[in-house]
Amino acid sequence: MGTGDSRTAELTRLYHVGRAVLDQLQLQSSHALAMDDQPLPVFNNVGLVSPALATIPPHHPTMHHVTSRQSTDPPSLTHATPVQMAHALQDYARAQIYGVKYDQVAERWLVLFCQASMLGALLQLGAPNDPTNTNRWPDAIAVLDTALIMTGGPCRIRPWLLKLIDAVQDAVSAHRSLEADSVTPLQAIDTTPNAAAAITESLPLPFKGGGRDQGRYCNVPEWACPSVMAFAQHLLAPVATLQESAAAIGPLPRLITGALSHWPALSTRPWANLQYVQEAMGPSRLVPVEVGYQYTDAQWTQRFLQVDAFFRDYLAPSVRADWSMVTHGAAAVLPTLRPAYLAQHDLLAQMPRLARDVSVPDYCYSTTDDNAIAEPLIHAWFGPRYTVSPLHHDSYHNLLAQVVGFKYVRLYPPSETAKLYPFTDESSLLTNTSQVDLDHVDHSHFPEFTEAFYYECILQPGQMLYIPPHWWHYVRSLSTSFSLSFWF
């Protein structure tokens, strides 16, 4: 099949998927989309869900019932084009979403924002015979991904949102395959024992054994593929072997080995092959990243990045080589560049093609805690060397599964909290975070920190670290790294 034929086939498939999505939106809007018996303003009355959307004239009679008021009121669409209508509805839904706390947002506004976004994306795609629409495909994906990330994809709309994203991304990928120069060259990450030894040797001095009080730390004990029953018993066992308040510590950390060997991400579809990961994610997709050394820094920020830009600017071999040049010497703890970290993001829900390569560990269903959540919360942690999660604690049981690369992890029991100097401002979001920067400890401000007892380990591909609730942990990537955390 020639280039022109391939492009026509993809455009035609996109057109049919778009029509199916619009038909589904029309069906859904005919039902009671609103919660609490309140109608969805504007959307149900303007006729925007018709497959013939592009033919609606600006002065359609159904548009005259809305007047312009405040930003949180329904927008005026009297003289709006279809594209303007989609944007206006997005803005209106966004105002409703941001107008209240995140846990008080009514689902109808999330649904409306997704529907308006899908409408806007379909309008951007154009007709199958439009020769310029391939240039607009990435913009359409950006609109759809923004909706998916911002809303989480309400259950009633999510399948169609993902279906449309997949259709557009498949078209982009087919088009990219004809343009080899547009693909960022990537190479697999070395996960051999020799690589592990080199990574360990490259640890900065603050994290090496020399000069440390050997009595104040120990290695996390390894546990070879325990049964679910044995793990459940471990969660119940009280511990009375550490220092003060030892009885309140609860279960200890464990480094679990051999429990992930069945994951395709570690075998038949290895995520160490970054080219595969990039294609599975979709080069034109958007992901939220943290830019900066760690979230406690003043220069730290968050932004959306296109997947291709994330790989090109932070994970390509040339970038990794540049960063490796600044690792030598005791003082060279940080790179001169600011890393980007795809951190604590529900990536598998956003990109189900990756989800097929892993599975939720059975251990996540072994707790009998009264406050246990029904399904584990899954977060991805993907980025280059030098990404850091500062010393903090979480309220959940946590299984941190390492898929690609290596990480150094240090853990402190809750009994050591006073020596870790947590932020105390209740109005801050950092009350679960230590003020101590482990890479540059200020001993004059935090004199008791070096007296705190801790565990440590280097987490390798195929291993899983159990982190008990409220245990403080610091995590530092020693190479390009891809991890999944399962909170339960």
Complete domains list, the chain, with CATH: 3-180 (no CATH), 197-487 (2.60.120.650)
Q: Kindly indicate the confidence band of residue 8, based on its pLDDT and cuts at 50, 70 and 90.
A: low
Is the confidence at residue 225, as pLDDT, over 90?
Answer: yes
Structural contact between residues 479 and 199, judged by C-beta atoms closer than 8 angstroms: yes
By DSSP bridging, strand 254-257 and strand 222-224 are parallel
Q: What is the pLDDT of residue 232?
A: 95
pLDDT band at 373 (very low <50, low <70, confident <90, very high): confident
Stronger pLDDT, 49 or 25, i.e. the higher one: 25
The CA dihedral of 403, 404, 405, 411, to the nearest 10 degrees, is -30
Helix (H, G, I), strand (E, B) or coil at 288: strand
pLDDT above 90 covers what percent of the chain? 48
| Res 438 pLDDT > 70 | yes
pLDDT in tens, 124-181: 876 555 656 677 888 899 999 999 999 987 878 888 899 899 988 888 887 776 555 4
pLDDT at 48 over 70: no
**Measured between alpha carbons, how far is 436 from 443 in angstroms, rounded to an integer?**
9
Mean pLDDT for all residues in the chain: 78
Distance CA 273, CA 279 (A): 10
- CA 87, CA 127: separation in Å to the nearest integer? 19
Residue 82: pLDDT over 70: yes
What is the DSSP pairing of strand 286-291 with strand 377-383? unpaired
What are the strands, taking DSSP E only, across 112-231?
217-219, 222-224
pTM score: 0.81
Of the listed ranges 216-220, 261-265, 304-308, 454-458, the least confidently predicted one is: 216-220
Strand 472-477 versus strand 301-306 pairing type? unpaired
